[in-house]
Protein backbone atom coordinates (compact mmCIF):
# COMPACT_ATOMS: atom_id res chain seq x y z
CA UNK A 1 0.00 0.00 0.00
CA UNK A 2 2.97 2.26 0.64
CA UNK A 3 3.33 3.32 -2.97
CA UNK A 4 -0.36 3.59 -3.74
CA UNK A 5 -1.82 7.07 -3.93
CA UNK A 6 -3.53 9.35 -6.42
CA UNK A 7 -1.07 10.95 -8.76
CA UNK A 8 -2.45 14.49 -8.40
CA UNK A 9 -0.63 17.18 -10.34
CA UNK A 10 2.71 18.59 -9.27
CA UNK A 11 2.81 22.24 -10.27
CA UNK A 12 5.44 24.93 -10.33
CA UNK A 13 3.97 27.27 -7.71
CA UNK A 14 3.03 30.78 -8.63
CA UNK A 15 4.14 32.96 -5.71
CA UNK A 16 3.00 36.46 -4.92
CA UNK A 17 5.07 36.91 -1.80
CA UNK A 18 8.82 37.32 -1.61
CA UNK A 19 10.77 35.70 1.24
CA UNK A 20 10.92 39.13 2.82
CA UNK A 21 7.12 39.44 2.64
CA UNK A 22 6.70 36.01 4.19
CA UNK A 23 9.06 36.80 7.06
CA UNK A 24 7.27 40.10 7.64
CA UNK A 25 3.85 38.42 7.78
CA UNK A 26 5.24 35.66 10.00
CA UNK A 27 6.57 38.26 12.42
CA UNK A 28 3.24 40.09 12.36
CA UNK A 29 1.33 36.89 13.17
CA UNK A 30 3.70 36.08 16.06
CA UNK A 31 3.34 39.59 17.31
CA UNK A 32 -0.48 39.32 17.21
CA UNK A 33 -0.35 36.05 19.16
CA UNK A 34 2.12 37.33 21.75
CA UNK A 35 1.27 41.01 22.20
CA UNK A 36 -2.45 40.84 21.66
CA UNK A 37 -3.09 37.19 22.39
CA UNK A 38 -6.22 35.20 21.67
CA UNK A 39 -9.63 35.10 23.33
CA UNK A 40 -10.01 31.49 24.49
CA UNK A 41 -13.46 30.23 25.46
CA UNK A 42 -12.25 26.77 26.47
CA UNK A 43 -10.76 26.41 29.93
CA UNK A 44 -8.99 23.13 29.21
CA UNK A 45 -7.33 24.61 26.11
CA UNK A 46 -6.29 27.69 28.06
CA UNK A 47 -4.81 25.39 30.71
CA UNK A 48 -2.89 23.43 28.08
CA UNK A 49 -1.46 26.60 26.58
CA UNK A 50 -0.58 27.82 30.08
CA UNK A 51 1.16 24.54 30.96
CA UNK A 52 3.48 25.05 27.99
CA UNK A 53 4.55 28.58 28.75
CA UNK A 54 1.74 30.78 27.46
CA UNK A 55 0.64 33.67 29.62
CA UNK A 56 -3.00 33.11 30.56
CA UNK A 57 -5.31 35.44 32.42
CA UNK A 58 -9.01 35.59 32.99
CA UNK A 59 -11.39 38.30 31.92
CA UNK A 60 -15.13 38.64 32.22
CA UNK A 61 -17.00 39.21 28.98
CA UNK A 62 -20.81 39.52 28.92
CA UNK A 63 -20.85 38.04 32.41
CA UNK A 64 -18.84 34.97 31.33
CA UNK A 65 -15.23 34.04 31.95
CA UNK A 66 -12.94 34.21 28.97
CA UNK A 67 -9.28 33.28 29.08
CA UNK A 68 -6.88 35.57 27.37
CA UNK A 69 -3.85 33.65 26.14
CA UNK A 70 -0.63 35.25 25.05
CA UNK A 71 1.42 32.82 23.01
CA UNK A 72 5.16 33.47 22.99
CA UNK A 73 6.86 33.21 19.60
CA UNK A 74 9.13 30.39 20.76
CA UNK A 75 6.20 28.25 21.88
CA UNK A 76 4.41 28.66 18.54
CA UNK A 77 7.49 28.13 16.40
CA UNK A 78 8.59 25.01 18.29
CA UNK A 79 5.11 23.49 18.20
CA UNK A 80 4.55 24.16 14.50
CA UNK A 81 7.89 22.49 13.71
CA UNK A 82 6.56 19.29 15.30
CA UNK A 83 3.63 19.08 12.90
CA UNK A 84 4.38 16.45 10.24
CA UNK A 85 5.46 17.82 6.91
CA UNK A 86 4.24 14.79 4.99
CA UNK A 87 1.48 12.26 5.57
CA UNK A 88 -1.17 10.24 3.78
CA UNK A 89 -4.91 10.64 3.84
CA UNK A 90 -6.33 7.17 3.35
CA UNK A 91 -9.14 5.79 1.24
CA UNK A 92 -11.29 2.65 0.99
CA UNK A 93 -9.50 1.95 -2.27
CA UNK A 94 -5.79 2.40 -1.45
CA UNK A 95 -5.19 3.68 -4.98
CA UNK A 96 -7.25 6.70 -3.96
CA UNK A 97 -5.03 7.65 -1.01
CA UNK A 98 -3.60 11.16 -1.05
CA UNK A 99 0.02 11.98 -0.35
CA UNK A 100 0.24 15.39 1.25
CA UNK A 101 3.77 16.72 1.30
CA UNK A 102 4.20 20.34 2.31
CA UNK A 103 7.35 20.66 0.24
CA UNK A 104 5.90 19.15 -2.93
CA UNK A 105 3.19 21.27 -4.60
CA UNK A 106 1.09 18.25 -5.63
CA UNK A 107 -2.46 19.52 -5.93
CA UNK A 108 -5.65 17.60 -5.24
CA UNK A 109 -9.21 18.86 -5.71
CA UNK A 110 -12.33 17.87 -3.80
CA UNK A 111 -15.81 18.91 -2.76
CA UNK A 112 -16.84 20.89 0.29
CA UNK A 113 -19.42 22.81 2.23
CA UNK A 114 -22.54 21.30 3.74
CA UNK A 115 -25.18 22.98 1.64
CA UNK A 116 -28.83 22.71 2.54
CA UNK A 117 -30.00 22.86 -1.05
CA UNK A 118 -29.55 20.42 -3.90
CA UNK A 119 -30.21 21.79 -7.37
CA UNK A 120 -31.69 19.34 -9.85
CA UNK A 121 -31.46 20.20 -13.56
CA UNK A 122 -33.79 19.16 -16.38
CA UNK A 123 -33.71 20.27 -20.00
CA UNK A 124 -36.96 21.59 -21.42
CA UNK A 125 -37.93 22.75 -24.87
CA UNK A 126 -38.99 26.36 -25.42
CA UNK A 127 -40.64 27.51 -28.64
CA UNK A 128 -40.16 31.01 -29.99
CA UNK A 129 -43.25 33.20 -29.67
CA UNK A 130 -42.40 34.88 -32.95
CA UNK A 131 -41.11 31.98 -35.05
CA UNK A 132 -43.14 28.93 -34.08
CA UNK A 133 -40.87 26.48 -35.83
CA UNK A 134 -37.86 27.67 -33.82
CA UNK A 135 -37.32 25.86 -30.54
CA UNK A 136 -34.43 25.69 -28.13
CA UNK A 137 -33.51 23.43 -25.23
CA UNK A 138 -32.89 25.27 -21.97
CA UNK A 139 -32.20 24.09 -18.44
CA UNK A 140 -34.82 24.35 -15.71
CA UNK A 141 -33.76 24.08 -12.10
CA UNK A 142 -35.52 22.68 -9.05
CA UNK A 143 -34.36 23.15 -5.49
CA UNK A 144 -34.49 20.11 -3.22
CA UNK A 145 -33.84 19.95 0.50
CA UNK A 146 -30.64 18.01 1.22
CA UNK A 147 -31.06 14.49 2.63
CA UNK A 148 -29.23 11.21 3.05
CA UNK A 149 -30.30 9.88 -0.32
CA UNK A 150 -28.93 12.96 -2.06
CA UNK A 151 -25.72 12.70 -0.05
CA UNK A 152 -25.35 9.10 -1.26
CA UNK A 153 -25.96 10.28 -4.82
CA UNK A 154 -23.32 12.97 -4.41
CA UNK A 155 -20.78 10.44 -3.15
CA UNK A 156 -21.53 7.99 -5.99
CA UNK A 157 -21.17 10.84 -8.49
CA UNK A 158 -17.89 11.97 -6.95
CA UNK A 159 -16.56 8.42 -7.06
CA UNK A 160 -16.90 8.66 -10.84
CA UNK A 161 -15.54 12.16 -11.43
CA UNK A 162 -12.01 11.40 -12.51
CA UNK A 163 -10.51 14.73 -11.49
CA UNK A 164 -12.05 14.70 -8.02
CA UNK A 165 -9.58 13.44 -5.46
CA UNK A 166 -11.41 13.61 -2.11
CA UNK A 167 -14.90 13.96 -0.72
CA UNK A 168 -16.23 16.44 1.81
CA UNK A 169 -20.01 16.06 1.96
CA UNK A 170 -21.44 18.80 -0.23
CA UNK A 171 -24.99 18.44 1.06
CA UNK A 172 -26.44 18.50 4.52
CA UNK A 173 -28.73 15.70 5.65
CA UNK A 174 -32.06 17.07 6.82
CA UNK A 175 -34.29 13.98 6.76
CA UNK A 176 -37.04 13.87 9.39
CA UNK A 177 -35.40 10.83 11.04
CA UNK A 178 -31.94 12.42 11.19
CA UNK A 179 -31.41 13.94 14.61
CA UNK A 180 -28.51 15.82 16.10
CA UNK A 181 -27.60 12.60 17.88
CA UNK A 182 -27.45 10.33 14.81
CA UNK A 183 -26.29 13.03 12.36
CA UNK A 184 -22.57 12.16 12.46
CA UNK A 185 -22.83 8.40 12.02
CA UNK A 186 -25.34 8.72 9.21
CA UNK A 187 -23.47 11.39 7.28
CA UNK A 188 -20.19 9.45 7.46
CA UNK A 189 -21.96 6.21 6.57
CA UNK A 190 -23.89 7.63 3.60
CA UNK A 191 -20.56 8.92 2.28
CA UNK A 192 -18.38 5.89 2.97
CA UNK A 193 -20.93 3.48 1.53
CA UNK A 194 -20.89 5.29 -1.82
CA UNK A 195 -17.31 6.35 -2.45
CA UNK A 196 -13.88 4.76 -2.20
CA UNK A 197 -12.00 8.08 -2.08
CA UNK A 198 -10.95 9.92 1.08
CA UNK A 199 -13.88 11.18 3.17
CA UNK A 200 -13.58 14.25 5.35
CA UNK A 201 -16.18 16.07 7.46
CA UNK A 202 -16.74 18.20 10.48
CA UNK A 203 -18.04 16.62 13.66
CA UNK A 204 -21.51 17.64 14.86
CA UNK A 205 -21.46 15.96 18.27
CA UNK A 206 -18.32 15.20 20.24
CA UNK A 207 -20.01 12.26 21.98
CA UNK A 208 -20.49 10.47 18.64
CA UNK A 209 -16.80 10.65 17.68
CA UNK A 210 -16.11 7.19 19.10
CA UNK A 211 -18.88 5.69 16.99
CA UNK A 212 -17.65 7.42 13.86
CA UNK A 213 -14.09 6.24 14.51
CA UNK A 214 -15.27 2.70 15.25
CA UNK A 215 -17.25 2.66 11.99
CA UNK A 216 -14.14 3.75 10.09
CA UNK A 217 -12.09 1.07 11.87
CA UNK A 218 -14.53 -1.65 10.78
CA UNK A 219 -14.46 -0.40 7.19
CA UNK A 220 -10.66 0.06 7.10
CA UNK A 221 -10.05 -3.36 8.65
CA UNK A 222 -9.24 -2.60 12.28
CA UNK A 223 -7.76 -0.02 14.64
CA UNK A 224 -4.22 -0.26 13.32
CA UNK A 225 -5.41 -0.43 9.72
CA UNK A 226 -7.34 2.83 10.15
CA UNK A 227 -4.33 4.69 11.54
CA UNK A 228 -2.19 3.37 8.67
CA UNK A 229 -4.89 4.17 6.13
CA UNK A 230 -7.02 6.94 7.64
CA UNK A 231 -10.03 6.69 5.35
CA UNK A 232 -11.64 9.58 7.22
CA UNK A 233 -10.38 12.86 8.61
CA UNK A 234 -11.94 15.87 10.22
CA UNK A 235 -12.29 19.61 9.82
CA UNK A 236 -12.26 21.84 12.88
CA UNK A 237 -12.94 25.56 12.61
CA UNK A 238 -11.39 26.20 15.99
CA UNK A 239 -11.24 29.95 15.53
CA UNK A 240 -14.09 32.34 15.20
CA UNK A 241 -12.44 35.34 13.63
CA UNK A 242 -11.04 37.54 14.88
CA UNK A 243 -8.86 35.47 17.20
CA UNK A 244 -11.55 33.78 19.29
CA UNK A 245 -10.84 30.18 20.24
CA UNK A 246 -14.18 28.35 20.22
CA UNK A 247 -15.14 26.26 23.24
CA UNK A 248 -16.86 23.21 21.74
CA UNK A 249 -14.60 22.98 18.69
CA UNK A 250 -11.56 23.02 20.98
CA UNK A 251 -13.04 20.01 22.81
CA UNK A 252 -13.50 18.22 19.48
CA UNK A 253 -9.88 18.94 18.55
CA UNK A 254 -8.71 17.38 21.83
CA UNK A 255 -10.68 14.23 21.05
CA UNK A 256 -9.83 13.94 17.34
CA UNK A 257 -6.10 14.42 17.94
CA UNK A 258 -6.19 11.83 20.72
CA UNK A 259 -8.00 9.44 18.37
CA UNK A 260 -4.95 9.68 16.11
CA UNK A 261 -6.76 10.83 12.99
CA UNK A 262 -5.81 13.69 10.64
CA UNK A 263 -7.40 17.06 11.13
CA UNK A 264 -7.74 20.36 9.30
CA UNK A 265 -7.29 23.43 11.46
CA UNK A 266 -9.47 25.72 9.43
CA UNK A 267 -10.02 29.43 9.71
CA UNK A 268 -12.26 31.51 7.48
CA UNK A 269 -12.11 35.20 8.29
CA UNK A 270 -13.97 37.58 6.05
CA UNK A 271 -11.93 40.52 4.81
CA UNK A 272 -13.84 43.67 5.56
CA UNK A 273 -15.84 42.29 8.49
CA UNK A 274 -14.03 39.73 10.69
CA UNK A 275 -10.55 40.53 9.35
CA UNK A 276 -8.87 43.40 7.54
CA UNK A 277 -9.76 43.55 3.86
CA UNK A 278 -6.20 44.55 3.04
CA UNK A 279 -4.02 41.63 1.96
CA UNK A 280 -1.33 42.16 4.62
CA UNK A 281 -3.82 42.37 7.46
CA UNK A 282 -5.91 39.43 6.29
CA UNK A 283 -2.91 37.13 5.88
CA UNK A 284 -1.28 38.22 9.15
CA UNK A 285 -4.50 37.52 11.06
CA UNK A 286 -5.54 34.23 9.45
CA UNK A 287 -1.99 33.00 9.74
CA UNK A 288 -1.98 33.85 13.45
CA UNK A 289 -5.24 31.95 13.93
CA UNK A 290 -4.03 28.88 12.08
CA UNK A 291 -0.65 28.90 13.83
CA UNK A 292 -2.39 29.00 17.22
CA UNK A 293 -4.62 26.12 16.13
CA UNK A 294 -1.71 24.02 14.90
CA UNK A 295 0.18 24.80 18.12
CA UNK A 296 -2.81 23.53 20.06
CA UNK A 297 -2.81 20.19 18.17
CA UNK A 298 0.90 19.66 18.75
CA UNK A 299 0.58 20.44 22.46
CA UNK A 300 -2.12 17.77 22.68
CA UNK A 301 0.03 15.25 20.83
CA UNK A 302 3.35 15.93 19.13
CA UNK A 303 3.37 14.85 15.50
CA UNK A 304 -0.42 14.91 15.12
CA UNK A 305 -1.17 15.09 11.36
CA UNK A 306 -2.70 18.47 10.66
CA UNK A 307 -3.45 20.62 7.62
CA UNK A 308 -3.00 24.38 7.46
CA UNK A 309 -6.63 25.20 6.72
CA UNK A 310 -6.87 28.59 5.11
CA UNK A 311 -10.23 29.78 3.80
CA UNK A 312 -9.82 33.55 3.65
CA UNK A 313 -12.66 35.31 1.89
CA UNK A 314 -13.63 38.88 1.18
CA UNK A 315 -16.88 40.59 2.05
CA UNK A 316 -19.04 42.12 -0.66
CA UNK A 317 -19.35 45.77 0.09
CA UNK A 318 -23.03 45.91 -0.90
CA UNK A 319 -24.35 43.22 1.46
CA UNK A 320 -21.35 41.90 3.46
CA UNK A 321 -21.86 38.38 2.15
CA UNK A 322 -18.83 36.26 1.31
CA UNK A 323 -17.35 37.23 -2.04
CA UNK A 324 -15.42 34.34 -3.59
CA UNK A 325 -14.99 35.01 -7.30
CA UNK A 326 -12.89 38.13 -6.96
CA UNK A 327 -9.21 39.00 -7.28
CA UNK A 328 -8.67 39.48 -3.53
CA UNK A 329 -9.82 35.93 -2.89
CA UNK A 330 -7.05 34.61 -5.10
CA UNK A 331 -4.50 36.93 -3.54
CA UNK A 332 -5.37 35.86 0.01
CA UNK A 333 -5.37 32.18 -0.85
CA UNK A 334 -2.15 32.19 -2.83
CA UNK A 335 -0.43 34.00 0.07
CA UNK A 336 -1.73 31.42 2.53
CA UNK A 337 -0.42 28.56 0.39
CA UNK A 338 3.00 30.21 0.56
CA UNK A 339 2.76 30.65 4.32
CA UNK A 340 1.87 26.95 4.74
CA UNK A 341 4.87 25.98 2.63
CA UNK A 342 7.04 28.22 4.82
CA UNK A 343 5.88 26.32 7.91
CA UNK A 344 6.22 22.95 6.15
CA UNK A 345 2.60 22.05 6.79
CA UNK A 346 0.35 20.80 3.93
CA UNK A 347 -2.19 23.41 2.86
CA UNK A 348 -5.97 23.02 2.75
CA UNK A 349 -7.23 25.72 0.42
CA UNK A 350 -10.31 26.80 -1.47
CA UNK A 351 -11.41 27.31 -5.07
CA UNK A 352 -14.44 27.07 -7.30
CA UNK A 353 -16.98 29.14 -5.42
CA UNK A 354 -18.93 32.10 -6.74
CA UNK A 355 -22.12 34.08 -6.45
CA UNK A 356 -23.83 32.42 -9.44
CA UNK A 357 -27.04 30.64 -8.46
CA UNK A 358 -27.23 28.29 -11.45
CA UNK A 359 -24.77 26.75 -13.92
CA UNK A 360 -23.92 29.11 -16.74
CA UNK A 361 -21.48 31.74 -17.84
CA UNK A 362 -21.25 33.56 -14.50
CA UNK A 363 -20.54 30.30 -12.70
CA UNK A 364 -17.93 29.40 -15.29
CA UNK A 365 -16.17 32.74 -14.90
CA UNK A 366 -16.13 32.73 -11.11
CA UNK A 367 -15.05 29.13 -10.87
CA UNK A 368 -12.38 29.20 -13.54
CA UNK A 369 -10.96 32.37 -12.04
CA UNK A 370 -10.28 30.69 -8.71
CA UNK A 371 -9.82 27.07 -9.82
CA UNK A 372 -6.90 28.13 -11.96
CA UNK A 373 -5.19 30.62 -9.67
CA UNK A 374 -5.46 28.58 -6.50
CA UNK A 375 -4.23 25.50 -8.37
CA UNK A 376 -1.26 27.54 -9.53
CA UNK A 377 -0.43 28.32 -5.89
CA UNK A 378 0.47 24.68 -5.28
CA UNK A 379 -1.88 24.30 -2.30
CA UNK A 380 -2.06 20.56 -1.77
CA UNK A 381 -5.71 20.10 -0.83
CA UNK A 382 -8.22 22.35 -2.59
CA UNK A 383 -11.78 22.00 -1.34
CA UNK A 384 -15.12 23.56 -2.39
CA UNK A 385 -14.06 22.86 -5.97
CA UNK A 386 -17.03 20.85 -7.28
CA UNK A 387 -20.67 21.73 -7.76
CA UNK A 388 -21.10 24.65 -5.37
CA UNK A 389 -23.40 27.52 -6.36
CA UNK A 390 -24.83 30.55 -4.58
CA UNK A 391 -21.55 30.84 -2.67
CA UNK A 392 -21.56 27.74 -0.46
CA UNK A 393 -25.32 27.44 -0.17
CA UNK A 394 -26.27 25.03 -2.98
CA UNK A 395 -24.83 21.92 -4.55
CA UNK A 396 -25.68 21.14 -8.16
CA UNK A 397 -24.52 17.77 -9.54
CA UNK A 398 -24.58 19.05 -13.12
CA UNK A 399 -22.26 21.85 -12.03
CA UNK A 400 -20.00 19.23 -10.43
CA UNK A 401 -19.82 17.43 -13.78
CA UNK A 402 -18.89 20.73 -15.47
CA UNK A 403 -16.30 21.48 -12.77
CA UNK A 404 -14.73 18.06 -13.25
CA UNK A 405 -14.08 18.85 -16.90
CA UNK A 406 -12.71 22.29 -16.04
CA UNK A 407 -10.43 20.98 -13.30
CA UNK A 408 -9.18 18.24 -15.61
CA UNK A 409 -8.10 20.87 -18.10
CA UNK A 410 -6.42 22.91 -15.36
CA UNK A 411 -4.56 19.88 -14.05
CA UNK A 412 -3.37 19.18 -17.58
CA UNK A 413 -2.36 22.79 -18.14
CA UNK A 414 -0.29 22.95 -14.95
CA UNK A 415 1.63 19.71 -15.49
CA UNK A 416 5.38 20.00 -15.26
CA UNK A 417 7.08 20.62 -18.61
CA UNK A 418 8.54 17.59 -20.37
CA UNK A 419 11.78 19.02 -21.62
CA UNK A 420 14.42 16.48 -20.61
CA UNK A 421 17.45 15.96 -22.85
CA UNK A 422 15.78 12.80 -24.18
CA UNK A 423 12.59 14.75 -24.94
CA UNK A 424 14.59 17.36 -26.85
CA UNK A 425 16.68 14.76 -28.72
CA UNK A 426 13.54 12.86 -29.72
CA UNK A 427 11.88 16.06 -30.91
CA UNK A 428 14.83 17.07 -33.08
CA UNK A 429 14.94 13.56 -34.55
CA UNK A 430 11.23 13.81 -35.32
CA UNK A 431 11.59 17.21 -36.98
CA UNK A 432 14.41 15.86 -39.15
CA UNK A 433 12.28 12.87 -40.13
CA UNK A 434 9.25 14.97 -41.05
CA UNK A 435 11.31 17.51 -42.99
CA UNK A 436 12.66 14.57 -45.01
CA UNK A 437 9.15 13.52 -46.01
CA UNK A 438 7.14 14.87 -48.96
CA UNK A 439 4.21 16.17 -46.93
CA UNK A 440 6.06 17.65 -43.91
CA UNK A 441 3.25 16.76 -41.53
CA UNK A 442 3.72 15.97 -37.86
CA UNK A 443 0.29 14.45 -37.35
CA UNK A 444 1.46 10.84 -37.40
CA UNK A 445 4.14 11.63 -34.85
CA UNK A 446 1.57 12.97 -32.41
CA UNK A 447 0.31 9.44 -31.82
CA UNK A 448 2.77 8.51 -29.08
CA UNK A 449 1.92 11.65 -27.11
CA UNK A 450 -1.81 11.09 -27.66
CA UNK A 451 -1.64 7.53 -26.42
CA UNK A 452 0.50 8.51 -23.43
CA UNK A 453 -2.20 10.99 -22.38
CA UNK A 454 0.08 13.97 -23.03
CA UNK A 455 -2.34 15.53 -25.49
CA UNK A 456 -5.51 17.01 -24.02
CA UNK A 457 -8.89 16.23 -25.49
CA UNK A 458 -11.36 18.83 -26.74
CA UNK A 459 -13.80 20.32 -24.23
CA UNK A 460 -16.17 17.47 -23.44
CA UNK A 461 -19.31 19.58 -23.76
CA UNK A 462 -18.54 21.44 -26.98
CA UNK A 463 -21.32 21.88 -29.52
CA UNK A 464 -20.75 21.74 -33.25
CA UNK A 465 -23.58 23.99 -34.40
CA UNK A 466 -24.67 27.57 -33.74
CA UNK A 467 -25.85 26.89 -30.20
CA UNK A 468 -24.38 26.44 -26.75
CA UNK A 469 -25.29 22.95 -25.51
CA UNK A 470 -22.89 22.69 -22.58
CA UNK A 471 -25.53 22.22 -19.89
CA UNK A 472 -27.59 19.86 -21.99
CA UNK A 473 -24.55 17.64 -22.56
CA UNK A 474 -23.59 17.82 -18.88
CA UNK A 475 -27.11 16.68 -17.92
CA UNK A 476 -26.70 13.69 -20.24
CA UNK A 477 -23.30 12.87 -18.78
CA UNK A 478 -24.64 13.09 -15.23
CA UNK A 479 -27.40 10.62 -16.12
CA UNK A 480 -24.85 8.25 -17.57
CA UNK A 481 -22.64 8.46 -14.47
CA UNK A 482 -25.59 7.99 -12.13
CA UNK A 483 -26.61 4.82 -13.97
CA UNK A 484 -23.38 3.15 -12.82
CA UNK A 485 -23.49 1.02 -9.67
CA UNK A 486 -22.38 2.60 -6.40
CA UNK A 487 -19.31 1.05 -4.75
CA UNK A 488 -21.23 -0.14 -1.69
CA UNK A 489 -19.46 -1.79 1.22
CA UNK A 490 -19.52 -5.59 1.24
CA UNK A 491 -22.39 -7.37 3.01
CA UNK A 492 -20.22 -8.63 5.88
CA UNK A 493 -18.80 -5.16 6.54
CA UNK A 494 -22.30 -3.69 6.42
CA UNK A 495 -23.52 -6.34 8.89
CA UNK A 496 -20.71 -5.52 11.27
CA UNK A 497 -21.20 -1.77 10.98
CA UNK A 498 -24.94 -2.06 11.63
CA UNK A 499 -24.37 -4.44 14.52
CA UNK A 500 -21.90 -2.18 16.30
CA UNK A 501 -22.83 1.40 15.45
CA UNK A 502 -25.98 2.76 17.08
CA UNK A 503 -28.22 5.23 15.29
CA UNK A 504 -27.66 4.18 11.69
CA UNK A 505 -30.79 4.43 9.59
CA UNK A 506 -31.62 0.95 8.20
CA UNK A 507 -32.62 2.33 4.79
CA UNK A 508 -29.11 3.70 4.20
CA UNK A 509 -27.81 0.17 3.58
CA UNK A 510 -29.45 0.37 0.18
CA UNK A 511 -29.01 4.07 -0.62
Instruction: Give the footprint of another protein on this chain (CB under 8 A).
Output: 438-441, 443-448, 450-451
In sequence order, the β-bridge partners of residue 118 are: 144, 395
Q: CB–CB of 243/285 below 8 Å?
A: yes
Q: How far is the CB of 383 from another protein (least distance, A)?
A: 34
Q: How far is the CB of 470 from another protein (least distance, A)?
A: 20
Q: How far is the CB of 278 from another protein (least distance, A)?
A: 51
CA distance 365 to 435: 42
Q: CB–CB of 155/167 below 8 Å?
A: yes
Q: How far is the CB of 15 from another protein (least distance, A)?
A: 38
- CA-closest candidate to residue 231, choices 261, 186, 187, 270: 261
Q: CB–CB of 394/354 below 8 Å?
A: no
> For residue 508, how many other CB atoms are within 10 A of its CB?
21
Q: How far is the CB of 448 from another protein (least distance, A)?
A: 5
CA distance 296 to 237: 13
Nearer to another protein, 62 or 440 (CB): 440
CA distance 257 to 306: 9
Nearer to another protein, 435 or 443 (CB): 443
3-class secondary-structure state, position 14: coil
Q: DSSP string of 340-401?
A: HHHHT--EEEE----S-SSSSHHHHHHHHHHHHHHHHHT-SEEES-SSEETTTTEE-HHHHH
Nearer to another protein, 438 or 490 (CB): 438
Q: How far is the CB of 450 from another protein (least distance, A)?
A: 6
Q: How far is the CB of 480 from another protein (least distance, A)?
A: 15
Nearer to another protein, 165 or 405 (CB): 405
CA distance 71 to 436: 71
Q: How far is the CB of 438 from another protein (least distance, A)?
A: 7
Q: DSSP string of 432-488?
A: HHHHTSSS---GGGGHHHHHTT-SPPPPTT--SSSS--HHHHHHHHHHHHHTSPP-P
Q: How far is the CB of 433 from another protein (least distance, A)?
A: 9
Nearer to another protein, 430 or 505 (CB): 430
Cis amide prior to 242 (ω within 30 degrees) = yes
Nearer to another protein, 62 or 439 (CB): 439
Its sign, for the CA torsion 224, 228, 231, 236, is positive
Nearer to another protein, 413 or 446 (CB): 446
Torsion of CA 256, 385, 283, 244, to 10 degrees: -40
Its sign, for the CA torsion 207, 209, 215, 217, is negative
Nearer to another protein, 223 or 447 (CB): 447
Nearer to another protein, 51 or 162 (CB): 162
Our separate counts of H helices and E strands in the chain read 16, 23
3-class secondary-structure state, position 423: helix
Q: In what helix (H) or strand (E) does residue 109 lie, and over which residues does it extend?
A: strand 106-109
Q: How far is the CB of 426 from another protein (least distance, A)?
A: 11
Q: How far is the CB of 431 from another protein (least distance, A)?
A: 15
> For residue 42, how many other CB atoms are within 10 A of its CB?
22
Nearer to another protein, 140 or 446 (CB): 446
Nearer to another protein, 86 or 447 (CB): 447
Q: How far is the CB of 424 from another protein (least distance, A)?
A: 18
Nearer to another protein, 132 or 451 (CB): 451
- CA-closest candidate to residue 159, choices 187, 200, 194, 186: 194
- 113: phi > 0 → left, psi -120 to 50 → alpha, else beta; which? left
Amino acid sequence: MRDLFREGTIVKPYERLSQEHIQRLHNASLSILNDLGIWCYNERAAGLFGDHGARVWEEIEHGQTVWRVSLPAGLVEEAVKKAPSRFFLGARNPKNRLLLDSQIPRIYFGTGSETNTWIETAMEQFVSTGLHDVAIQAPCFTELRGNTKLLGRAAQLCENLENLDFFIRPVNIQDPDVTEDNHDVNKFFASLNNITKHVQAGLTRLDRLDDVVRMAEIIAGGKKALRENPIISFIACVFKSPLQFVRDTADKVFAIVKAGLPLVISSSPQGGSSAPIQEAGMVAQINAEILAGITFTQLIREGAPVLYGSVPVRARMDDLHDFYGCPEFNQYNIDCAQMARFYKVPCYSTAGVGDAKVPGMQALFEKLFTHLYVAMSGAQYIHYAFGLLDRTNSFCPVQAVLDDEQIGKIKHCLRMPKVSQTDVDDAVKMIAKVMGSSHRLFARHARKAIHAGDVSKPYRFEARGMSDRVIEYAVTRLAEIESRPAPHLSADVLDKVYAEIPGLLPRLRRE
